[in-house]
Amino acid sequence: MQSITSKELHTNGQSNSTTSTIDVVNDVCTHPGGPILSESVPTPGSPGIETTPAFEFRNLHRYFGKLKAVNDVSFKAHPGQVVGFIGPNGAGKTTAMRILATLDLPTAGDAFVEGYSVIDDPDKVRRILGFMPDSFGRYPNVNVAEYLDFYARAYGFRGAARRDAVERVMVFTELGRLAEKPIDTLSKGLSQRLGLGRTLIHDPRILILDEPAAGLDPRARVELRELIHLLATGLKKTILISSHILTELSEICDSAAIIEAGRILASGTVAQIMETLKTRPGRSTSLLTLRVLRNAEALERLLLEQPFVAQISVAAQSVSFHYEGDDAARARLLKHLIDQGAEIVEFSGKTENLEDAFMAITEGIMQ
């Protein structure tokens, strides 16, 4: 068996030091080792590529004694979607993700990856799915190149294909210059990049990322988010990602599933989940804020005379209030206030996001 040396990889990494991540995307389909980090390719024999979900949880249960860690979980994602898996600690996210990654078996129900059952076809699932856990071992006396090479071997890469797979993952994660660095000396941010590289080594079409941004500093979080965004938009990966940083999930996810105490409370596109908030008690109004050049008290008196306005508060030259009217009513209100002489320099409404949805839908149940 031909072996790859860290020196050889380091040299390769230097030769590609000017290669951008976009260059990797543009070149992935032409290298001799086969497609690494390529766009999704249909699996031969997979039923209904156009209609089969990329992954699906179907009435999934996982019990540990009396604890129902996962309790009748059902939701799915289609190819190319980025799904945020949201829930408090202990809600069952990691357990469900481990089952989807074939690392645990359900008590009842099943999960499917491109139509393959994680119970009946785990080997087929592992070929098309990559799992990045929230933490992984830092082994002594192993450098970055050797670590990735080990996983390339484990997935059956040999010779030039193996070297090419490792090199391209290192270029994508920008770890080429650190090929000979011991992995137990990496920072948290670089460790997460290495974990992502390990997850990508066999070019899976579906990625499961469990708390990838946990413990990262702001710069490392932004850099990791950019990599995930590129995987989703540039390389068309289907991604299931859990995180407690909900503002960041809002920026990269088009769908979400909210779980608490083992049960799914809401799932669907982000737009669908946000729409359901409007039907909940106390969520039919919008919070609007007006800022004026002067005389905020006069604006307050004027607002008190208007329909759909409630709970007015004044702070300096800003006036905030709850408003039940639709967009057309907002436009009429703004025009009326200006016609009445209000010197308005800012008119804004609070846009609800996944964090608002999470707080509105969950109850803080611990188990």
Q: What pLDDT band is residue 107 in, cutting at 50, 70 and 90?
A: very high
Residue owning tokens 């320099």: 345
Is residue 356 within 8 Å of 277, Cβ to Cβ? yes
Q: State whether residue 288 is helix, strand or coil.
A: strand
**Mean pLDDT estimate for the chain:** 84
Q: What pLDDT band is residue 9 in, cutting at 50, 70 and 90?
A: very low
pLDDT digits (tens, 9 = 90+) for 169-209: 999 999 999 999 999 999 989 999 999 999 999 999 999 99
Q: Find, among 238, 188, 244, 241, the residue nearest to 210 by Cα.
A: 241
- Tell whether the model's pLDDT for residue 42 goes beyond 90: no
String of b and e for 192-220 (b: at least 16 CB within 10 Å)? bbbbbbbbbbbbbbbbbbbbbbeebeeeb
pLDDT value, residue 17: 37
